């Protein structure tokens, strides 16, 4: 298997966390997003021109959460993507929620406070940060309430959902993501950071 990614991508981090936890070692192919040649190569793999992309014996798969599911289903004996229909639906719910709500809110802070100056030379836009605050508050409030009586997001064990939701928080300090009010989320994120998979992938970033 080959995994095409770039180290700054939290979407790629989701997939690396999954692979590390499952004991998989795909060949890592780093895509230089500033290289026209690499970007052309990426479009050939993914018409959306997004990373990560997995290539497995001629099968090409994009979308980080779909790749996570595929890797789990390819691994006998795995426990992070349950077989039970309702348990799996619960995990899927949080995978979609992470992609649709939580990660986009955090990405506003990541862009404005980390990458915007590097890419455009412009300072953060207060209006965009205010929009980020509104979107993050709506999502983080839901997550914090859900974690009030739970160790992990789904059931009583670690699942793909935890990796999907935690990955964007890799930028919590650098991007100045305002999470201080959400103590249950921070306690859960600390548990995620203690996992071997998180520590194994941290050096890459």
Q: What is the pLDDT along the chain (205 residues), one digit of tens a residue?
A: 999 999 889 999 999 999 999 999 999 999 988 888 988 999 999 999 999 999 999 999 999 999 999 999 999 999 999 999 999 999 999 999 999 999 999 999 999 999 999 889 999 999 999 999 999 999 999 999 999 999 999 999 999 999 999 999 999 999 999 999 999 999 999 999 999 999 999 755 4
Residues 168 and 108 in one domain: yes
110: in domain: yes
34: in domain: yes
Residues 112 and 142 in one domain: yes
**Residue 204 confidence (pLDDT):** 53
Angstrom distance (rounded) from CA 36 to CA 33 = 8
Torsion over CA: 76, 166, 16, 57 (sign): positive
Residue with tokens 């995978």: 95
Residue 93: give its domain's CATH number.
Answer: 1.20.1050.10
* pTM across the whole model: 0.94
Residues 6+ apart with CB under 8 A from 110: 10, 168, 171, 174, 175, 177
Residues 30 and 121 in one domain: no
The range of the structural domain enclosing residue 134 comes to 85-195
Residues 98 and 136 in one domain: yes
22: in domain: yes
The answer to whether the CB of 62 falls within 8 A of the CB of 11 is no
**Residue 205 confidence (pLDDT):** 47
Angstrom distance (rounded) from CA 199 to CA 183 = 22
* Strands, sheet with 27-30, edge to edge from the N-terminal-most edge strand: 27-30, 2-5, 53-56, 59-62
**Residue 7 confidence (pLDDT):** 84
**Residue 56 confidence (pLDDT):** 97
Domain tally, the chain:
2
Residues 56 and 116 in one domain: no
Residues 64 and 106 in one domain: no
Burial zone of 148 (CB within 10 Å; 0-12 exposed, 13-18 middle, 19+ buried):
exposed
78: in domain: no
């Amino acid at each position: 298997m080959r995994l095409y990614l770039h180290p700054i991508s939290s979407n790629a981090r989701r997939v690396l966390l999954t692979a590390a936890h499952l004991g998989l070692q795909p060949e890592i192919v780093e895509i230089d997003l500033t290289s026209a040649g690499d970007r052309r190569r990426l479009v050939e793999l993914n018409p959306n021109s997004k990373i990560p992309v997995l290539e497995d014996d001629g099968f090409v798969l994009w979308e980080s959460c779909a790749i996570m599911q595929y890797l789990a289903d390819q691994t006998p004996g795995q426990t992070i993507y349950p077989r039970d229909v309702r348990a799996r639906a619960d995990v899927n719910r949080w995978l979609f929620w992470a992609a649709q709500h939580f990660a986009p809110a955090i990405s506003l802070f990541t862009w404005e406070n980390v990458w915007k100056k590097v890419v455009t030379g412009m300072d953060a836009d207060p209006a965009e940060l205010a929009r980020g605050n509104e979107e993050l508050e709506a999502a983080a409030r839901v997550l914090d309430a859900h974690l009030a009586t739970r160790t992990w997001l789904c059931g009583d064990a670690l699942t793909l959902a935890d990796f999907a939701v935690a990955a964007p928080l890799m930028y919590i300090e650098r991007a100045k993501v305002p999470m201080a009010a959400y103590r249950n989320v921070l306690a859960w994120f600390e548990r995620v950071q203690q996992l071997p998979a998180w520590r194994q992938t941290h050096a890459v970033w």
